[in-house]
Chains A and B, each alone.
Chain A
Amino acid sequence: MNWLTNFIRPRINSIVGTSKDVPDNLWVKCTSCEGMLFHSEFKENNNVCSHCGHHMKWEAFDRLAAYFDDGKYKEIKVPKVTEDPLKFKDKKYYSARLKESRAKTGRQDAIIVASGKIGGQKVVIAAFDFFFMGGSMGAAVGEGLVTAAETAVKENAAFIAIPSSGGARMQEGMMSLMQMPRSIVAVEMVKDEGLPYIVILTDPTTGGVSASFAMVGDIHIAEPGAMIGFAGPRVIKETVREDLPEGFQTAEYLLEHGMVDMVVPRAEQKDTLARILSLLMEPKQTALKAIA
């Protein structure tokens, strides 16, 4: 396995990473209430609207920095996979789309793997980057999940997956569908070692992503308002020919229907993670001795 030993400086990265999205603009408009938010405050608030509490997309590196102790983590290099296995072309070459997304995000594909500590517990995180082709899952993303799981096993760490994805990457055809069983094999490796597997479901988690690794967690934490479901609302509407229920496929809807353990706002996510990890991971013998 390849290791990137340089520590990512989260703050610098967040500035570099987001400067393209918010050019010279000091203000951000909330996509839900349309309220105006001062950019620096918005960032400080983890991309959550201070007017209505709406959780907007959160840059993966910012998220990692917020979760890991002291904002420190090690990015883990994901081995390269066969690119564009089908030589796919729609109106545009898939290879050209990849190039564009790489230029736009500065990332190789839609996943980042990092290891570090949360509340003192060892953790490996695989986080999706929605800005890279909608976070769609192809071979590279699948490889990221496998790499993360293998690293977790090697480091005796918990595995946290953070999907933000519309589903399978169509341009990789069946190779993308195969990432569904592949990602579950990855999770099985972690579970076999008795290590916790936590999923943080963010907006959106749909299609082949929600129907694979994202729904087999020991613990499911969803972000407020996140859209989570298998089929898209448009497809469902066309099939059933009726209006969809209020709040359909939101995190809160899933909580109500027993599909997630909790809906946790960003401000509380790190503490929640740290608490859960310590509960699940602290040395068992010590705990049992203490009771005796």
Chain B
Amino acid sequence: MALDFEKPVLELEQKIAELSKVEKTEDINIDSEVMQMRVKADKLLEQIYTKMTPQQKVQVARHPERPHCYDYIKALITDFTPLAGDRLFAQDDAMVSGIGRFEGQACVILGQEKGSDTETRIKHNFGMARPEGYRKAQRLMKMASQFKLPILTFVDTSGAYPGVGAEERGQSEAIAKSIESCLRAEVPFISTIIGEGGSGGAIAVATADRVLMLQHAIYSVISPEGCASILWRSGEFAGEAAKALKITARDLKELGIIDDIIAEPVGGAQRNHPAIFQNVRESLSKHLAELMQKDADTLKKERRQKYLQITR
């Protein structure tokens, strides 16, 4: 799926494809021309991706072909053992949860899964967790402290699910207590914003020692569309809102809200899954190694201090 602003590249790629066909049927050497066009296409893609507007980043962050939570788990976690249920009401498939190994180290893994086709999207409720999801997260965070397992979360959600049942069962309380559980965790805690960091639904599992963010991911207090419809009184101003809200990795690094940016391959994570898996692996390893040096009290104290210092 190509995004509207990627069209020039797409056109070039089509030409390359046509030329490649010609090459096979006629006896003319156009290898060098194809090669040149490829270089040109790559350059163009790189240019487009370096000059992306915040609104274009929103599109990339939500790109359906971007790796989702489960893709990262498959690529980076061995012995993954999903754990289900909040022990109170239900199992929530929007919140992926389990234990597994990262680089040999046993960890608790949490994250929102958006799904990749109609069937899985519905199964995972488009990555929008209900209270049960956050209560399951709380349960696993406590278990992490109990067994001294570091916590890794992969955040990708447009937000917590806005539904009658979710409200009835205390969506607010579930999110609040989930943040509290993050703050109480006695183990290293790393959150990676892999796509969309949607407000309260994201921070519920992203109050961490280190918050890493993919280069083209977004993280926002409200969706640009929602913000535009409230403050500009029209969703058409989503572009302006996206810019004003400062939701890109670079902006948030500058504001001291995230700790590190994970570079994406040219043209975004959706174009090269193995490359982004490798980058995420390296970044996670580095930060986890640093955090593993610290004891439980220090981790907890520093995590609290970190959040107290933001905006101070």
The reply to whether B310 and A182 contact each other, CB–CB distance below 8 Å, is yes
In contact, A259 and B163 (Cβ under 8 angstroms): no
Residues of A within 8 A of B252 (CB): 174
Q: Contact flags (1/0) for A130-150 with B, using CB distance below 8 Å?
A: 000000000100110010000
User: Are A207 and B308 neighbours in the complex by a CB distance under 8 Å?
Assistant: no
11 sample A-B contacts, Cβ–Cβ < 8 Å, listed by A number = A86-B244, A168-B222, A172-B221, A173-B246, A177-B200, A181-B307, A182-B308, A211-B171, A212-B179, A215-B173, A240-B164
Given contact pairs A90-B244, A174-B219, A178-B307, A248 touches B172 in the complex (Cβ within 8 A)? no
A185 near B172 (CB under 8 angstroms)?
A: no
- With a cutoff of 8 Å between Cβ atoms, the chain A residues found around residue B241 in the complex are 90
A210 at the interface (CB under 8 A from B): yes
Number of interface residues of B (CB under 8 A): 51
- Known contacts: A90-B232, A185-B308. The answer to whether A175 contacts B257 by CB under 8 A is yes
For A259, what are the chain B residues with a Cβ–Cβ distance below 8 Å?
A: 170, 172-173
Task: Contacts A170-B221, A179-B311, A180-B179 given; indicate if A236 touches B164 (C-beta within 8 A).
Answer: yes
Q: Please give me the residue from chain A that is nearest to B181 by CB atom.
A: A184
Cβ-defined contact, B176 with A184, below 8 A: yes
Set of chain B residues within 8 Å of A249, measured between Cβ atoms: 167
Given the known inter-chain contacts A177-B199, A188-B180, please indicate yes or no for A230 contacting B171, CB distance below 8 A: yes
Q: Determine whether B230 belongs to the interface, using a CB cutoff of 8 Å to chain A.
A: yes
How distant is A279 from chain B, measured CB to nearest CB, in Å?
A: 23
Contacts of A240 in B (CB 8 A): 163-164
**CB < 8 Å neighbour of A139 from B167, B182, B219, B311:** B311
> Is B304 part of the binding interface, using a Cβ–Cβ cutoff of 8 Å?
yes
Give the residues in chain B near A231, CB-CB below 8 Å: 160, 162-163, 166-167, 171
Q: In the complex, A86→B227 CA distance in Å? A: 15
Residue from the list A170, A184, A210, A214 in contact with B183, Cβ < 8 A: A184
Is A176 engaged at the interface, CB distance under 8 Å to the other chain?
yes
By DSSP majority rule, is chain B's interface helix, strand, loop, or mixed? helix
The 7 closest A-B pairs by CB, nearest first: A231-B162, A139-B311, A215-B176, A90-B231, A210-B172, A211-B175, A230-B171
A residues in contact with B311, CB < 8 Å: 81-82, 85, 139, 142-143, 175, 178-179, 182
From residue 81 to 97 of chain A, which have CB atoms closer than 8 A to chain B? Answer: 81-82, 85-86, 88-91
* Inter-chain contact A230/B164, CB cutoff 8 Å: no
Q: Which residues of B contact A245 (CB under 8 A)?
A: 164
- Give the distance in Å from the alpha carbon of A177 to the alpha carbon of B173 in the complex: 16
Q: At the interface, yes or no: A225 with Cβ under 8 Å from chain B?
A: no
Residues of chain B within 8 A (CB-CB) of A244 are 164
Q: Is A239 an interface residue (CB 8 A)?
A: yes
Complex contacts, A82 vs chain B, CB 8 Å:
311
Indicate whether A188 sits within 8 Å of B183 (C-beta atoms), given known contacts A90-B244, A230-B171, A236-B162: yes
Instruction: Identify the interface centre among B160, B161, B180, B255: most chain A CB within 10 Å of its CB.
Output: B180
Residue of B nearest to A91 (CB): B232
Which among B171, B207, B246, B311 has the highest number of chain A CB atoms within 10 Å? B311
Instruction: Report the minimum CB–CB distance from B255 to chain A (whole Å).
Output: 7
Chain A residues within 8 Å of B166, by CB: 230-231
B245 within 8 A of A: yes
- Residue contact B304 to A188, C-beta cutoff 8 Å: yes
Q: B167 contacts A143, CB within 8 Å?
A: no
Shortest C-beta distance, B191 to chain A (Å), equals 12
Contact of A214 among B169, B176, B220 (CB under 8 A): B176
Bound form: Cα–Cα A215–B138 in Å: 15
CB-CB under 8 A from B164, the residues of chain A are 236, 240, 242, 244-245, 248
Q: How far is the CB of B116 from chain A (nearest CB, A)?
A: 22
Q: How far is the CB of A262 from chain B (nearest CB, A)?
A: 16
B window 120-162: CB within 8 A of A: 160-162
Partner of B172, one of A146, A177, A187, A215: A215
Whether the Cβ atoms of B199 and A208 lie closer than 8 Å is yes
Give chain A residues whose Cβ lies under 8 Å from the Cβ of B184: 188
Chain B residues lying within 8 Å of A81, measured Cβ to Cβ, are 311-312
**A46-79 interface with B by 8 A CB criterion:** none
Please provide the chain B residues from 179 to 220 with a CB less than 8 Å away from any CB of chain A in the complex: 179-180, 182-184, 199-200, 203-204, 207, 219-220
Contact partner of B230 (CB less than 8 A), chosen from A89, A139, A170, A258, is A170
Q: Please give me the residue from chain A that is nearest to B202 by CB atom.
A: A177
* Inter-chain contacts of A28 with B (CB < 8 A): none
Q: In the complex, how many angstroms separate the beta carbon of A192 from the nearest chain B beta carbon? A: 10
Please give, as numbers and ranges, the residues of chain B lying within 8 Å of A12 by CB-CB distance.
none
Q: Are B232 and A230 in contact (CB under 8 A)?
A: no
**Is B281 interfacial (CB-CB < 8 Å)?**
no
A56, B101: Cα distance in complex, Å = 55
| List of A residues within 8 angstroms of B246 by Cβ | 86, 173-174
A213 lies within 8 A of B222 (CB): no
Which residues of chain B have C-beta atoms less than 8 A from A228's C-beta? 172
A40 to B228: give the CA distance in the assembly, Å: 41
Contact A212/B307 with A235-B162, A249-B167 known, Cβ cut-off 8 Å:
no
The reply to whether A239 and B162 contact each other, CB–CB distance below 8 Å, is yes
A216 at interface by CB-CB < 8 Å: yes
Question: How many whole Å from B120's CB to the nearest CB in chain A?
Answer: 19
For the complex formed, measure the closest distance between the CB of B194 and the CB atoms of chain A, giving whole angstroms: 17
A177 to B182, CA, bound (A): 15
B46 CB–A CB distance under 8 Å: no
Closest to B219 in A: A174
Closest approach, in angstroms, between the C-beta of B291 and any C-beta of chain A? 18
B63 at the A interface (CB under 8 A)? no
Given contacts A174-B245, A188-B183, 11 further A-B contacts (CB under 8 A): A88-B245, A174-B221, A185-B304, A185-B308, A188-B180, A211-B200, A212-B200, A229-B167, A231-B166, A257-B168, A259-B170
